[in-house]
Structures are given as structure tokens and as C-alpha cells.
């Protein structure tokens, strides 16, 4: 394969995805299917991949997506059921009372601390929190933007740690060496103190511009909230603690606890019931708060039991594990490996969420209409998000095995011409071209993949193998660079058209998505740049070369930013 032509063909599906999302405004699932089919055609016709390999690899990608795609399905089921029983509405009323009327405190309690906790247990802040923020007097743009960005820093540990688990599985597969979940979590968590503080401060800027950003009390609260989340993430992922799956849940609770203590010491109210109107009071009377939260309480208890009690963890994750075998393949160094996927389906977050939903049912009114509405709405809401979550995994596996053909025994053979493999070609081109500066690109590729797919987990699936191969070629730390890609994918949450449209729809403000993305783009790019520089400095032993590249990058960004500001400044 000619390297230039190959590079153009590899990036063609990504360009197509951007056009479909931005210009033609197609949904993520539609875009995903088109991009997957395009990748298949290119893999078969240009990279000479066997048709059977392409189809089997796609199926393997779908199975590999189960931790995220099935989690999407079960979380939609739980949230739909809670909505139909009135439990969700009762919880939202309680959320409205938080913050004591103080703007920075409301932002950080609801959209940051509560957002972290909710997405940690599989709830959807972009669906639940915009009405709360709007009711508290924030503008529609702010009400949509804040919940979208609030859980960005720790999104790696969302959905009971699904993205971190997928990273561990994918990295183990491409490297050939098992990567413990806690160790993968440690690498991600090392970025979190700086990134989470940046996100917390950015939320003040989005909500109130320079005025709120320069508010000393607000800035102090944002810093302690961000540091609390970041440090908690590091602690949860220590080997001796090993609570990767509960990182977001614990971090969200820790942030809420710290903010409560700050309010208490400042003698300010943490709960302000004057925010409630008569409709809210009626909702309060229909159900107690403890009953409304039962599904989440059960889910957290199940997570603790299956994480902390070692015999149960071993039974569900290992003894009763179901491994799917898709055959064997040859690596670039002529090693033969099994293409197997360990599902651990009884230990996965989606199973726990399904059980929590079913177990909680006796505590609620369950007439035929409630169950019928839950079933009907679930069938309407779930298929497309599930497809969107899964299809990019299929695309990633097609890229990974492009150029492979089976031998007489059925083993997939690595292409005789290595440039017939998309990942190998892309890795060799970029590592040779960029050299030591290559790690700077990982977070931005993750941001792009997260924007296209709407998911950090999909970004991990799409580019982990590529970053591993490219990092290996230049002697960079493969785990740090690959993890940086995931961080970038998480930071894309505030740019995801699907998530922002979801948030806008629940407050009847469809049409403001472009304004939200423009605000979010500034934050996402700046935080991705910070992540990229951290990656460069951590990917190699500290040296004059890496420090010079990092300093040059910072200076270039400052100069470009100053130039843009000067050009946009009104002339007298």
C-alpha cells in the first residue's frame, strides 16, 4: 500500500463522520453505521482484507462493546422505570433544594458533585439536571452546558468504571499482557487533579463569565471541589484500595461532603427549600426521598458486595466467566494469539443495574400501565443509543485486523506487506513524522473520536491499538499515551451532539446546541492541550527535549490566542 494513499483512505471515514455529524446533522447511530460500512469497503478493496475476517472482526467488536452498549440499555431501562413510577421526579425536586442560593455552590454541588455521582451509578446528568438548573434561574445555554461538562474529568470511571474496564481489556489484547483494572485506573487518575480543577473553574466561566470566574469565594470552592475529585480518584485506584469501579460514586460523594462541610463552616444553608414551587411540593408529598432513591441504593450495595467481597468477586468475574472465542490470529512479530473476549457478564455493571431495577420494583406502585409505559418507552429510547455505542467498536476491530487473511488452518495471518494494516501504517507514519512530539497528539485524537462517537469508551476502542503501536515505535510509555487518548475522549462529552441535544430536549430548547458547543469547545480544547502536555512529559524520562517541546507548544498557543484576541478586539 502506498503510504500517502493509505493515510488518505484511513482518515476518510473520520472525515465522513465529521461531515455527517456537523454539516448534515445526522444522528450518532446513523453516522456510525455509514462509517463502519465505509471502513469495511476500504478494508476489503484497498487493504485486501478477507471478507470473513472483516465480518468476524465486526462481530467481535460488538461483543467487546457489551460493557458499554448493554450498560446504556440497562441504564435507560432503570431511568425510564424510575420516571414512570415518579421516583425520578421526586429526586429532581430534592436536587433543586441544594446549594442554598449561592451560585458557585449551586453549580458545583449539582452539576459537578452530583453529576459525578449520578453518572457513576449509571444515571444520566444530561437528562436529569438541565431542568433543575433552569428552575434555579440559570439560562437555557448554561442549564445545558453545565451538566454536559460537569462529569467530564472523571468520565473514565462513569457507569461503574466501564471505560476503565474496557481500556484494561483492549490494552491487554493489543499488548498481549494482562493489565489489572486498578493499574489502568491509576494511570487515568494521575491526570485527574489538574483536569478536574480545570473543569470546575471552567464551569464558573460558562455560568457567569469573568465576573463569576474572578469571584474569590467561588474560585476557592471550585479548586477544592476539583482537587477533592482528583485526589479521591487517585486514592480509589491504589492497589491496596482497588475501588476503580466505584471511583465516580465515591468522588461525587466526597465532593458533596466537602462542599457541605464548607457551607457548614461558613454558616450558610446547604438546602434551600424556597426554590420549590407548588408543583414541586405536590411531588414531594407523593413519595418519600428514601423510597425514590431505592434503585440507586440497591445498585451501590450490589457494587460494593461484588467489588469488596473477594470470594463473590472471584466467583462472578472468574469462575462463572463466559469467554467468547473468535479464533486465532498472527501478530506482526509472528506470535499466534487467541482472539478471545472475556465477558464476565455476571460481574458487569449492566447486570447489576438490571438486578437493581428488578429488585426495586416491589417498593413502587407497579400497575399494568406503569409497566406497559416503561416497556414501550424503553423500546423507543434504547435501540439507537445502544447501536451508536456498539458500532464504533466494530469499526475499531475492522481497522485492527485490516489486511489479515486466513491460512488453511483458519488462523488470521498478518499481511506480508505490513502497510496493508491500517493501524500499522498509521502508527508508522505518525511516529516517524512526529517522533518525540507524537504523544501530544493522543489526547486530541481522543477528543476527535469522542466527538464522533459520543463516547470515551468508543474512543478507547478506536485508537488504543494505534497509540500502542506508535508509542512502541518511538520508545514512549504506551499506557500513558493510550490513556491520554481516553482522557481526550472523555473531554469530548461537552461537544457530543447526541448528549447536548438530549440535554436541550428535556428543557424544550432544541436549537441551542451550536451555542453550547461553541462554549464547550474552548474548555475542551484547552483541557485537552493541558492533558497533551502532561502526556508528553510523562511519556518519556524528563529531558531537555521534552521540556523544550512542551514549552514551545505552550508559547505557540499563547501567541496564537493573543493574535486571535487582538484580531477580534473592536477597533476605536
Q: Concatenated DSSP letters for 295-327?
A: HHHHHHHHHHHHHH-HHHHHIIIIIT--EEEEE
Residue with the larger pLDDT of the pair 117 and 102? 117
What is the tens place of the pLDDT at every residue in 156-208? 888 788 899 989 998 998 888 899 999 999 999 999 999 999 999 999 988 88
3-state helix, strand, coil in the chain (%, to 5): 75, 5, 20
What is the structure's pLDDT at 179?
92
**Confidence grade of residue 567 (pLDDT, cut at 50, 70, 90):** low
Strand order in the sheet with 336-342: 336-342, 323-330, 412-413, 405-406
Do 448 and 440 touch, CB atoms closer than 8 A? Answer: no
Nearest residue to 151 (alpha-carbon basis) of 75, 220, 252, 233: 252
Beta carbons within 10 angstroms of residue 46's beta carbon: 19
Integer distance in angstroms from the first to the last C-alpha of the chain?
Answer: 57
Under DSSP, the state recorded for 84 is H
Q: What is the pTM of this model?
A: 0.85
CA dist 376 and 83 (Å) reads 13
**Following DSSP, what letter does each residue of 60-83 receive, concatenated?**
HHHHHTHHHHHHHHHHHHHHHHHH
Interval 70-95: pLDDT, tens? 988 888 898 889 989 999 899 989 98
Comparing 46-50, 103-107, 499-503, the range with the smallest average pLDDT is 499-503
Q: Give the C-alpha separation, 306 to 250, whole Å.
A: 16
Contacts of 351 (CB under 8 A, 6+ apart): 74, 345
Cβ atoms of residues 497 and 479 within 8 Å: no
pLDDT at residue 103, as a whole number: 84
Nearest residue to 256 via CA among 112, 120, 113? 113
- Is the confidence at residue 250, as pLDDT, over 80? yes
Contacts of 10 (CB under 8 A, 6+ apart): 42, 399, 422, 425, 426
Q: Give the chain's mean pLDDT.
A: 88
Q: Are strands 336-342 and 323-330 parallel, antiparallel or unpaired?
A: antiparallel
> What are residue 165's phi and psi, to 5 degrees?
-65, -45
- Residue 62 to residue 343: CA distance in whole angstroms: 12
Identify the DSSP state of 110. Answer: I
Question: SS3 for 271?
Answer: strand
Angle among Cα 555, 556, 557 to the nearest 5 degrees reads 90
**Which DSSP string corresponds to 522-538?**
HHHHHHHHHHHHHHHHH
Identify which of 284, 357, 372, 276 has the alpha carbon closest to the alpha carbon of residue 86.
284
Q: Are 99 and 269 in contact (CB under 8 A)?
A: no
Q: Domain locations in the chain?
A: 1-48
Instruction: Indicate if the pLDDT at residue 511 is higher than 80.
Output: no
As a whole number, mean pLDDT of residues 286-309 equals 92
Residue 491 pLDDT more than 70?
yes
Amino acid at each position: 500500500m502506498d503510504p500517502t494513499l493509505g493515510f488518505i483512505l484511513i482518515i476518510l471515514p473520520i472525515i465522513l463522520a465529521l461531515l455527517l455529524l456537523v454539516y448534515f446533522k445526522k444522528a450518532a447511530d446513523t453516522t456510525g453505521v455509514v462509517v463502519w460500512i465505509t471502513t469495511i469497503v476500504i478494508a476489503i478493496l484497498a487493504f485486501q482484507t478477507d471478507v470473513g475476517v472483516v465480518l468476524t472482526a465486526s462481530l467481535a467488536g460488538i461483543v467487546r462493546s457489551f460493557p458499554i452498549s448493554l450498560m446504556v440499555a440497562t441504564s435507560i431501562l432503570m431511568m425510564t422505570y424510575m420516571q414512570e413510577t415518579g421516583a425520578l421526579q421526586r429526586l429532581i425536586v430534592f436536587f433543586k433544594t441544594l446549594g442554598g442560593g449561592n451560585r458557585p455552590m449551586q453549580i458545583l454541588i449539582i452539576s459537578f458533585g452530583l453529576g459525578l455521582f449520578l453518572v457513576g451509578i449509571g444515571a444520566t446528568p444530561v437528562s436529569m439536571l438541565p431542568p433543575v438548573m433552569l428552575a434555579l434561574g440559570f439560562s437555557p445555554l448554561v442549564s445545558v452546558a453545565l451538566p454536559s461538562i460537569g462529569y467530564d474529568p472523571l468520565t473514565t470511571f462513569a457507569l461503574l468504571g466501564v471505560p476503565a474496564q474496557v481500556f484494561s481489556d483492549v490494552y491487554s489484547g493489543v499488548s498481549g499482557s494482562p493489565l489489572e483494572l486498578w493499574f489502568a485506573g491509576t494511570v487515568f487518575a494521575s491526570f485527574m487533579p489538574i483536569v478536574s480543577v480545570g473543569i470546575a473553574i471552567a464551569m464558573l466561566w460558562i455560568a457567569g463569565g469573568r465576573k463569576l470566574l474572578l469571584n474569590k469565594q467561588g474560585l476557592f470552592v471550585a479548586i477544592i471541589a476539583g482537587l477533592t475529585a482528583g485526589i479521591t480518584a487517585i486514592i480509589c485506584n491504589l492497589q491496596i484500595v482497588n475501588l476503580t469501579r466505584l471511583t465516580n460514586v465515591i468522588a461525587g460523594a466526597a465532593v458533596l461532603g466537602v462542599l457541605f462541610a464548607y457551607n457548614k463552616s461558613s454558616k450558610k444553608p446547604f438546602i434551600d427549600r424556597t426554590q420549590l414551587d407548588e408543583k414541586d411540593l405536590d411531588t414531594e408529598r407523593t413519595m418519600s426521598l428514601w423510597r425514590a432513591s431505592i434503585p440507586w441504593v440497591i445498585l451501590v450495595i450490589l457494587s460494593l458486595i461484588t467489588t469488596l467481597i473477594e470470594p463473590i468477586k472471584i466467583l462472578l468475574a472468574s469462575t462463572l466467566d463466559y469467554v467468547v472465542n473468535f479464533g486465532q490470529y498472527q501478530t506482526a512479530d509472528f506470535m499466534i494469539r487467541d482472539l478471545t473476549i472475556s465477558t464476565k457478564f455476571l460481574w458487569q455493571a449492566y447486570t447489576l443495574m438490571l438486578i437493581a431495577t428488578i429488585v426495586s420494583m416491589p417498593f413502587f406502585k407497579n400497575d399494568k400501565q406503569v409497566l406497559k409505559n416503561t416497556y414501550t418507552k424503553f423500546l423507543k429510547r434504547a435501540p439507537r443509543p445502544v447501536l451508536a455505542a456498539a458500532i464504533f467498536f466494530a469499526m475499531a476491530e475492522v481497522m485492527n485486523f485490516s489486511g489479515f487473511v486466513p491460512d488453511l488452518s483458519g488462523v488470521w495471518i498478518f499481511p506480508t506487506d505490513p502497510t496493508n494494516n491500517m493501524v500499522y501504517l498509521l502508527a508508522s507514519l505518525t511516529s516517524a513524522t512526529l517522533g518525540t512530539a507524537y504523544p501530544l497528539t493522543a489526547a486530541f485524537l481522543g477528543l476527535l473520536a469522542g466527538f464522533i462517537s459520543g463516547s470515551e469508551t468508543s474512543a478507547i476502542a478506536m485508537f488504543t491499538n494505534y497509540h500502542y503501536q506508535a508509542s512502541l515505535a518511538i520508545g514512549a510509555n504506551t499506557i500513558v499515551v493510550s490513556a491520554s487518548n481516553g482522557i481526550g475522549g472523555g473531554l469530548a462529552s461537552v461537544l457530543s451532539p447526541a448528549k447536548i441535544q438530549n440535554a436541550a430536549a428535556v428543557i424544550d430548547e432544541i436549537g441551542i446546541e451550536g451555542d453550547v458547543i461553541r462554549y464547550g469547545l474552548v474548555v475542551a480544547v484547552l483541557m485537552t492541550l493541558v492533558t497533551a502536555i502532561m502526556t508528553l512529559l510523562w511519556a518519556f524520562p524528563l529531558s531537555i527535549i521534552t521540556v523544550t517541546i512542551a514549552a514551545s507548544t505552550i508559547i505557540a498557543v499563547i501567541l496564537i490566542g493573543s493574535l486571535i484576541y487582538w484580531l477580534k478586539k473592536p477597533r476605536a
